[in-house]
């Protein structure tokens, strides 16, 4: 296969796919779809189970979208990233106060970044999970407020992006830099090869 569909609004995921040299077309949710509802948490669900379930739900929605639009068949790539402290899921901040609480929680400690990737077409699907650890230096309230004022925390799981000025706070990572960005390239490349996608 010479191209895939990418069902993600994330410019970072597009950039990472381009880094691999993968040809893709965007397959984005229409105004009639409630894409945000797919990310609703279920009580008692672990962060790892949550991110895998959300990614598969995104794939189901994208497969239905492909069929409804009558587009040529090709594998669809979906991904979801979450940040977790212990069993607490830290999603995209709702507002500045939520971003402050999240970054205050991450300050001076280690957290997990979990990214799931799914590739599917028809009844066939393949899913991979990447787990990375990130250590934050202690942050002052002034540092956190300045970062929030930049607008960078919004739309990001855990209220930060590793490729932003928040990188200055990260003392150590263990795992996949691209996974922390939102698309683990090692696992993604493995899935693409399983599907004979050319890149």
**Annotated active-site positions, please?**
80
DSSP run (H or E) holding 155 = none
**Residues 116 and 80: beta-carbon distance below 8 Å:** yes
Distance, in Å, from the CA atom of 166 to the CA atom of 160, rounded to the nearest integer, reads: 7
Q: Which residues fall within 8 angstroms of residue 142, CB to CB, at 6 or more apart? A: none
Q: What is the spatial distance between Cα 141 and Cα 20, in angstroms, rounded to a whole number? A: 38
Q: For the chain, how many residues are written?
A: 199
Cβ(127)–Cβ(116) under 8 Å? Answer: yes
| C-alpha distance from residue 186 to each of 10, 56, 98, 189 (Å) | 18, 19, 32, 5
The answer to whether the beta carbons of residues 79 and 59 sit under 8 Å apart is no
Interatomic CA distance for residues 133 and 136, integer angstroms: 10
């Amino acid at each position: 296969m010479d191209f895939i569909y990418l069902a993600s609004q994330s410019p970072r995921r597009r950039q990472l796919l381009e880094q691999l040299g993968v040809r893709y077309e965007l397959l984005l949710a229409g105004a009639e779809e409630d894409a945000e509802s797919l990310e609703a948490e279920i009580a008692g669900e672990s962060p790892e189970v949550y991110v895998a379930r959300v990614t598969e739900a995104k794939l189901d929605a994208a497969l239905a979208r492909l069929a409804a639009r009558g587009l040529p068949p090709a594998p669809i790539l979906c991904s979801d990233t979450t940040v977790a402290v212990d069993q607490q899921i830290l999603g995209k901040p709702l507002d500045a106060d939520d971003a402050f609480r999240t970054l205050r929680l991450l300050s001076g400690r280690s957290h997990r970044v979990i990214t799931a990737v799914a590739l599917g077409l028809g009844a066939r699907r393949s899913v991979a999970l990447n787990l990375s650890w990130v250590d934050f230096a202690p942050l002052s309230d002034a540092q956190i407020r300045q970062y929030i004022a930049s607008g960078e925390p919004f739309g990001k799981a855990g209220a930060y992006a590793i490729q932003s000025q928040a990188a200055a706070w990260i003392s150590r990572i263990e795992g996949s830099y691209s996974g922390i960005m939102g698309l683990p390239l090692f696992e993604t490349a493995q899935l693409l090869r399983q599907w004979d996608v050319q890149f």
